[in-house]
Chains A and B, each alone.
Chain A
Amino acid sequence: MTIALAADERRGGGRAASSARSIGLAVLRRVGYAVGVLWGAVTVTFAALHLKSGGIIDAIIGQAAVSPEIRAQIISDYALDKPWLVQYFDYLGHLLRGDLGHSYNQGMDVTTAIGDQLAPSFELMAAGVVLALVGAIVVALLTANRPRWIRGPFAFLEIVGVSVPAFWFAILLLTVFSFQLHWFPAIGSNSLRGLVLPAIALAVAPGGTLAQVLRDGLERALDEPFVTTARSRGIRETAVLVRHALRHALMPAITIAGWLAGAFLGGAIVIENVFSRQGLGTLTVGGLGRRDFPLVSGVALIAAAFYVVINLIIDAVYPLLDPRLRPAAPTTSGPANAAAASITSTTSPSVSATGADQKGDR
Chain B
Amino acid sequence: MNPVLEVSGLWVIGPNGPIVSHADLAVEPGRTLAIVGESGSGKSMTAKALTGLLPSGVHAEGTVAVDGTSLDLAGGARALAAVRGRRVSLLLQNPFTSLSPVHRCGPQIAATLAVARDEVDDEVRRRLAEVDLPERVASMYPFELSGGMRQRVALAASLASDPLVLIGDEPTTALDVTTQREVLDLVARLQRERGMAFVLITHDLGVARERADEVLVMYAGRLVERGPTAELLGTPRHPYTAGLRDSDPPLVERLERLPSIPGSVPRAWEHPAGCVFAPRCERADERCRVDEPTLGGTDADGIRAWACWHPLDDRAAGVVVVTRTSPTDEGAPTRPLVTVGGARRRFRHDAPPALDDVSIVVGAGEAVGVVGESGSGKTTLARCLLGLERLDEGTIEWAADRPRATRAQIVFQDPSSALNPAMTIGAALGEALRAGGQDPSAVPRLLELVGLPVPYAKRRPRALSGGEQQRVAIARAVAPRPDVLVCDEPVSSLDVSVQAQILNLLNELRRELGLALLLITHDLAVARQVVDRVYVMHRGRVVESGAMDRLVAAPQHEYTQRLFASVAGR
Partners in one complex: no
Q: Interface on B for A, CB 8 Å cutoff?
A: none
Q: Interface on A for B, CB 8 Å cutoff?
A: none
